[in-house]
Amino acid sequence: MSNQIILPRIMQVGEGASNEVPNVLASLGCKRPLIITDNMMVELGYAARIQECLSRHQIASDVFADTVPEPTVSSIQAGVDRVRDGDYDSIIALGGGSPIDSAKAIAILGKHGGTMRDYKFPRMVIEAGLPIVAVPTTAGTGSEVTRVTIITDETTDEKMLCMGIGFMPVAALVDYNLTLSLPSRITADTGIDALTHAIEAYVSKKANLYSDSQALSAMRLLAPNLRRAYHDGADKEAREAMMLGSTLAGVAFSNASVALVHGMSRPIGAAFHVPHGLSNAMLLPSVTQYSLPAAPKRYADCARAMGVADVQDSVEVANDKLLKELHALNDELQVPTPARFGIDRQTFFDLMPTMAEQALASGSPNNNPRVPSIDDMIAIYRQLW
């Protein structure tokens, strides 16, 4: 039995990696990039810095900065038009998960046409879009190393999972310097997302020896540094570990898949506009508790990799420590309950069956060590209150 592992062709990793963008483009034979980003990256001067860096190497670039958080079919349309009307040979995707996910969709639709729904899972997108050089500024969604993008259909509030080698960036420039100015809330939300990727990849039914090694390394980097980066954003050592950890977690889940947390999290995000990492954080303790009986040894490994259990601890003790840690982490990182986030209880309860159906349709719950029924998922949603 073998597993196919899909990765970017180039990974530039470490302090200052984003300055290498001209060299990376040159080695890919690209000369005319469109930078796809958001207004925050423009305000922070990150987009201008990339442009200056390119112009020093006589590379002319344009900026499309109108991507939005949790991208939708209509939010990416202007970017698709821009690519169709322009003479671009590559895309530089700069920002958190949303600009990178937007760029992936734009790269495919801009080149091959059609609508996003045409590319929805279970179709595997093998077409090559415009080559993407991903420059993440959070640690992170791992989108720079995954063959997945998530685009919401705003007419149905469905987060459409789109998958295939066509969505894999050709290069990832992983530069923790770009995360030093992240606000603590985003550090927490994206950091828990990364930790969730690592845990879910490790307990996934599609886990393999390769993804396991990446997932465990990711947990070792992420777990001890998440609190540090949250409390002191200028802690370079913690930021560096978080950045590499999130990229490795991305590699792990892209090659093993995510599971129940992500499956149940997407509908919450689509219906109530909860940031992706935050809805994951809300679900992680309850979903872990539900899933533990089906993979106690795997979860014990997670607890040990995260540094919350010792080698001598029994599986049962390690599982217990993991659950305690996940609750403690949410408390310390001030993850709100759905109520505190401002979600109306009645609306949430009314939507639970629909959200459970959407979760199931995404395919992710089937990768969970314990595969839930619709009623199981409704019971977990209810536990969040």
The footprint of Fe ion (CB under 5 A) covers: 193
The Cα 115–Cα 223 span in angstroms is 39
Closer Cβ to Fe ion, 147 or 321, answer by number: 147
Closer Cβ to Fe ion, 197 or 321, answer by number: 197
- For residue 285, cis peptide bond before it (omega within 30 degrees of 0): no
Closer Cβ to Fe ion, 37 or 190, answer by number: 190
β-bridge partners, 151? 160
Closer Cβ to Fe ion, 193 or 301, answer by number: 193
- Closest approach, Cβ 82 to Fe ion, in A, equals 27
Write a three-state SS string for the chain: CCCCCCCCCEEEECCCHHHHHHHHHHHCCCCCEEEECCHHHHHCCHHHHHHHHHHCCCCCCEEECCCCCCCECCCCHHHHHHHHHCCCCEEEEEECHHHHHHHHHHHHHHHHCCCHHHHECCCECCCCCCCEEEEECCCCCCHHHCCEEEEEECCCCEEEEEECHHHCCCEEEECHHHHCCCCHHHHHHHHHHHHHHHHHHHHCCCCCHHHHHHHHHHHHHHHHHHHHHHHCCCCHHHHHHHHHHHHHHHHHHHCCCCCHHHHHHHHHHHHHCCCHHHHHHHHHHHHHHHHHHHCHHHHHHHHHHCCCCCCCCCHHHHHHHHHHHHHHHHHHCCCCCHHHHCCCHHHHHHHHHHHHHHHHHCCHHHHCCCCCCHHHHHHHHHHCC
- Closest approach, Cβ 88 to Fe ion, in A, equals 28
- Closest approach, Cβ 262 to Fe ion, in A, equals 6
- Closest approach, Cβ 363 to Fe ion, in A, equals 15
Tokens of 290: 């539900």
- Closest approach, Cβ 6 to Fe ion, in A, equals 17
Residue of this chain nearest to Fe ion (CB atom): 193
- Closest approach, Cβ 59 to Fe ion, in A, equals 32
- Closest approach, Cβ 316 to Fe ion, in A, equals 29
- Closest approach, Cβ 228 to Fe ion, in A, equals 21
Closer Cβ to Fe ion, 178 or 198, answer by number: 198
The CA angle 382-384-385, to the nearest 5 degrees, is 75
Closer Cβ to Fe ion, 130 or 215, answer by number: 215
- Closest approach, Cβ 10 to Fe ion, in A, equals 23
Closer Cβ to Fe ion, 79 or 140, answer by number: 140
Closer Cβ to Fe ion, 97 or 129, answer by number: 97
Cα dist. 63→40, 41, 47, 66 in Å? 13, 11, 8, 9
Closer Cβ to Fe ion, 101 or 193, answer by number: 193
- Closest approach, Cβ 274 to Fe ion, in A, equals 13
Under 8 Å between Cβ of 139 and 243: yes
Closer Cβ to Fe ion, 189 or 193, answer by number: 193
The Cα 229–Cα 233 span in angstroms is 5
Pairing state of beta strands 148-153 and 158-163? antiparallel
